[in-house]
Chains A and B, each alone.
Chain A
Amino acid sequence: MQSMQQVVARARAAFNSGRSRPLEFRIQQLKALERMVQEKEKEILAALKADLNKCGHNAYSHEILGVLGELALTMEKLPSWAAPQPVKKNLLTMRDEAYIGYEPLGVVLVIGAWNYPFLLVMEPLIGAIVAGNAVVVKPSEVSENTARLVAELLPQYLDKDLYPVVTGGVPETTELLTQRFDHILYTGNTAVGKIVMAAAAKHLTPVTLELGGKSPCYIDKDCDLAVACRRITWGKYMNCGQTCIAPDYILCDPSIQSKVVENIKATLKEFYGEDVKSSPDYERIINKRHFQRVKSLLEGQKIAHGGETDEASCFIAPTILTDVSPESKVMEEEIFGPVLPIVTVKSVEEAIEFINLREKPLALYVFSNNKQLIKRVISETSSGGVTGNDVIMHFFLSTLPFGGVGHSGMGAYLGRYSFETFSHRRACLIKDLKMESTNKMRYPPGSQKKV
């Protein structure tokens, strides 16, 4: 069993050899990843089913499709992204070459999460490879089947020294974090995010932290409630609520609360049938610990729908809570489960104030027919990203940066943003050794004329 130090040292030596830099090499590795995803699709789907009871459709559309898309995009764009970018020159530099060069950072650490265990390891890995780095991959041990599969598969397809996979839990990750990396991308929760950043600080390592929070969802009185609730139901209960950008809670006027509940109920029936537990399309909570955590949030709450649980299978039914008090436990932490609290507010001002009193969330959702109202909510709040009149979807547009702000994270990635996150933008000015006369005015001795 190798120590973390040895694994990282080997990756660093491999990076220093320079072989991860040529564009041809990067594309070759990305192509190998593409082959891996295509050839091992069955195994990947099976691991996701074992970890989260994710059905084939969800697993494919949420985790595999996105990865294939990112691979195609990065292979396509790499030459243009990696090209030096000439910049506007001033009078003094008119005859010089001035540009921004994109260079790899070195050895990147990617720490994945358990909720989209394949996606959240692959997307950062793709970004780090396309930028020319070596990458140490640490999948989440909580989603153990996917972790095991990633540890088996990556060495079969990728350069073993440049892209090692490290498995293990808290002690192993803590040891890993004592090593020096040139960038760390961590996906997970706020508390561990602080630990990662503190460890990174010792080496002055830049970090991208994709964290979480309570993503609010404001439903205006003036909106097509049936459509809004349909979209919200989809985003809230996919992956059994275990999505960092799921709408965490609803804010709406008391007068529409019961209509909201009715519409969500109807949609749930349409999606999962009468007996949710027997629907092949509904996932489970990842493990007993999280099951207990989410279940305890139901205590003392008014359950308008759902509430059934089964510990043996980590099943929690899609649940709606009404008239939730802002001080209750369910409103304190990110739910990360299929429980949807509704907090009533009398106006959009109250909703905005409510949101601003809390930590900045990863996503913010607002439903309204009134464009101005949507614009207002966006401009008077802060969040990682926003989708208006839908949920989740901003994640699927790779031309938008995906990341948090404040407690929901720092930095962004996906698409071109991954390339930029994992690259160093080096300012380059190449002058002529001749033409010294133009430099005379800056040299001492100083004079008014020179000034």
Chain B
Amino acid sequence: NPYAGLVSHLRASWLSGKTRPMEYRVAQLEALGRFLDEKKQEILEATELDMGKPSFEAFFSEILLCKNELNVTLNNLCHWMKDEHVDKNLVMQLDSAFIRKDPYGVVLIIAPWNYPIHLFLVPLIGAIAAGNCAIIKPSEISKNTERLVAETLSCYLDTDCFAVVTGGVPETTRLLENKFDYIFFTGSPSVGRIVMTAAAKHLTPVTLELGGKNPCYVSDTCDVTNVAQRVVWGRFFNAGQTCIAPDYLLCTVEMQDKLMPALRAAITEFFGPNPRESPDFGRIVSDKHFRRIRALLGSGRVAIGGQTDEAERYIAPTVLADVLPSDPAMQEEIFGPILPIVVIANMDEAIDFINARPRPLAIYAFSCDSKVVNQVLERTSSGGFCGNDTLMHVTLTSLPFGGIGNSGLGKYHGKFTFDTFSHHRGCLHRNMGLETLNAPRYPPYTQQKLGLLTTTFEVKRRGTCTLL
């Protein structure tokens, strides 16, 4: 077991209690802040080399959003760490009842390649804030960022408690043989299953941030220009390599006709007449993914874009019209700059279409009629939902971010990350005196004792529920 030594070293640090004082956690978190500040240029360069990530995007997702999470955490850590006192029942009025936030111990964070800093750093913030030690396993596919993290993170964080492990599938498989106290995984559903199966051997709790096909319903009553801009932004950000990107559009044939020029206009406004020359449009991360996505272009008909360049791993911002549910583009999460439009007759058909498929990470619905937006929300199920925009719900740290069913289990961001990495331990600290009050619970049992117990323990309905 090649990682046994590392894991036991971290476990020994954990048992020493080093990571528990608030001052320690704050110091490590502040060091992460310095990492983001001092290595900003390196991060922008590495992500550009890895997937042509435009520096504007890299700054937004890898630096700005991470710093927000850091600041929310630093601002609230003291409050989050406190014992949470709870309401007591009659019998426990003189006792102390509270929930402690205990760290789990040594946690494992496995990050993907598409937002390679953000998707290890934001979970790590919560792991540190909650008092754990952590092993970080960045993705080998974004190899420049992997190297940067492996080489520089140790200059900022306490190496007794935080380590970076690099490698591919064989290394990750060996790493997963070890016992961790929590595993946080972001990636595909198929690997999610493998991670959870490995975790089951040690009864390790997990958070799995997975993916799926995020539907985007556009109703007939909407501001076409604004819809087009918001959808284009969300779809082509990071060249479509975003777990919460709108994966496909559902609308009527009339709306498809209306949207097409608006989508074209938005793409041109954002990326110019030749997006290949735009510094604001990314590239596909690997040859394998490039070929995978290119094969999806045979779905429906190419209405906008469709150009590719293998040497650059460039795929133009593309819109496919009249895509059929049986087409290749509708069989897998696209994770690329292609937006298929599937024509439906009406909102009900759109909802049925969505519900016939695995529950996605996000659902989007656009309409000027708020009733329509609410109908889609209420009649479907997804990790999260955004009405009249794309992606934005995950930038609000007070909202939980996570999937359901195939798109994942667990949630994080803001306080939810801290809670994810803490064990909420119910504690009751009783009075040693007043032993007579306990008498009804002891044998020998009598009818009288039972009556007393019933009276003191019973929760009585306070009145009829107003619904009935």
Instruction: Please tell me if A105 contacts chain B, counting CB pairs below 8 Å.
Output: yes
**Stretch in A5-13, A158-166, A196-204, A254-262 touching the partner:** A196-204
User: Using Cβ atoms and an 8 Å threshold, which residues of chain B touch A56?
Assistant: 445, 450
A60 touches B450 (CB 8 A): yes
Q: Say if the beta carbon of A289 comes within 8 Å of chain B.
A: no
Contacts of B449 in A (CB 8 A): 57
Interface string of A71-102 (1 = CB under 8 A from B): 01101101100000001111011000110110
Q: Binary interface profile of A, 383-410, with partner B (CB < 8 Å = 1, else 0)?
A: 1111111100110111111100111011
Asked if A345 CB lies within 8 Å of chain B CBs, one says: no
The chain A residue sitting closest to B102, CB to CB, is: A382
Q: Using an 8 Å CB-CB cutoff, how does the interface string of B396-412 with A read, 1 for contact, 0 for none?
A: 11111100111011110
Residues of chain A within 8 A (CB-CB) of B457 are: 61, 65, 69, 396
For B181, the closest partner residue in chain A by CB is A406
- The reply to whether A224 and B383 form a contact with Cβ atoms under 8 Å apart is no
Instruction: Given A204-B196, A273-B444, A444-B54, verify A388-B428 contact (CB < 8 Å).
Output: yes
Q: Which residue of B lies closest to A26 (CB)?
A: B467
A274 to B243, CA, bound (A): 69
Residue on B nearest A199 in the bound complex, by CB: B200
Complex CA distance for A234 and B443, rounded to whole angstroms: 8
Which residues of chain B (429-468) have a CB below 8 Å from chain A? 429-433, 435, 438, 441-446, 449-450, 453-454, 457-462, 465-468
- With an 8 A cutoff between CB atoms, is A103 at the interface? yes
- Given the known interface contacts A65-B453, A444-B280, the answer about A234 and B408 at a Cβ–Cβ threshold of 8 Å is no
The answer to the question of B17 belonging to the interface, with a C-beta cut-off of 8 Å to chain A, is: yes
What is the distance, in angstroms, from B90's C-beta to the closest C-beta of chain A? 11
| Residues of chain A within 8 A of B409, CB atoms compared | 204-206
The 8 Å CB contact of B428, one of A68, A282, A393, is A393
Contact of B405 among A204, A231, A439 (CB under 8 A): A204
Asked if residues A443 and B203 are in contact (CB atoms below 8 Å), the reply is no
Q: Choose the segment among A36-44, A115-123, A293-301, A420-428 that binds chain B (4+ C-beta atoms closer than 8 Å).
A: A420-428
Q: Report the bound CA distance from A398 to B387 in whole Å.
A: 36
Contact among B229, B450, B468 with A439 in the assembled complex (CB-CB below 8 Å): B229
Q: A62 to B242: give the CA distance in the assembly, Å.
A: 51
| Docked complex Cα distance between A418 and B454 (Å) | 23
Closest to A410 in B: B205
- Indicate whether B56 reaches chain A with its CB closer than 8 angstroms: yes
Contact in complex: B458, A446 (CB < 8 Å): no
CB distance from A396 to the nearest CB of B (A): 7
Q: Are the CB atoms of A58 and B445 closer together than 8 Å?
A: yes
- If A197-B203, A429-B385 touch, whether A389 touches B458 (CB-CB below 8 Å) is no
| B377 contacts A by Cβ under 8 Å | yes
Query: Given known contacts A273-B444, A424-B381, is B459 in contact with A431 (CB within 8 Å)?
Result: no
Q: Are B399 and A98 within 8 A (Cβ)?
A: yes
Tell me which residues across on chain B come within 8 A of A378, comparing CB atoms: 100, 427
Cβ of B55 under 8 Å from chain A: yes
Please state if A430 and B458 are interface contacts (CB–CB under 8 Å): no
Given contacts A399-B87, A445-B278, contact A428 B226 (CB under 8 A): no
Q: Is B89 an interface residue (CB 8 A)?
A: yes
CB contacts (< 8 Å) of B462 on chain A: these are 76
Please tell me if the beta carbons of B400 and A425 are within 8 angstroms of each other in the complex. yes
Q: Is B227's beta carbon under 8 Å from chain A? A: yes
Q: Is the CB of A428 within 8 A of B278?
A: no
**Are A429 and B226 in touch, CB under 8 angstroms?**
no
With A224-B432, A382-B102, A385-B427 as given contacts, are A427 and B461 in contact (CB-CB < 8 Å)?
A: no
**How many angstroms between the C-alpha atoms of A392 and B382 in the bound complex?**
39
Expressed in whole angstroms, the Cα–Cα distance for A182 and B381 within the complex equals 12
Q: Mostly helix, strand, loop or mixed at chain B's interface?
A: mixed
For the complex, give the distance between the alpha carbons of A451 and B61 in Å. 12
Q: Shortest Cβ distance from A61 into chain B, in angstroms? A: 5
Q: Are A90 and B56 in contact (CB under 8 A)?
A: no
Find chain A residues with CB under 8 A from B468 CB: 24, 27-28
Query: CB < 8 Å: which of B396, B397, B428, B458 contacts A429?
Result: B396
B438–A61 CB distance below 8 A: no
**Chain B, residue nearest A28 (CB):** B468
Please, how many angstroms separate the alpha-carbon atoms of A194 and B199 in the complex? Answer: 9
| B104 & A405 in contact (Cβ 8 Å cutoff) | yes
**CB < 8 Å: which of B181, B397, B428 contacts A387?**
B428
Contact call A439/B230, Cβ cutoff below 8 A: yes
Please judge, given known A-B contacts A76-B465, A227-B435, whether A427 and B384 are in contact too, CB under 8 Å.
yes
Are B226 and A369 within 8 A (Cβ)?
A: no
A194 touches which one: B200, B384, B386 (CB < 8 A)?
B200
User: A65-B458, A445-B270 provided; 14 other pairs, C-beta below 8 A?
Assistant: A27-B465, A194-B201, A198-B197, A230-B442, A393-B430, A399-B86, A399-B88, A426-B384, A426-B404, A429-B386, A431-B392, A433-B226, A433-B368, A444-B56
Q: Point out residues on B near A: beta carbons under 8 Å.
A: 15, 17, 54-57, 59-60, 86-89, 91-92, 97, 99-100, 102, 104-105, 181, 189, 192-193, 196-197, 199-201, 203, 205, 208, 210, 222-223, 225-227, 229-230, 233, 269-272, 278-281, 366-368, 370, 373, 377, 381-389, 392-401, 404-406, 408-411, 423-433, 435, 438, 441-446, 449-450, 453-454, 457-462, 465-468
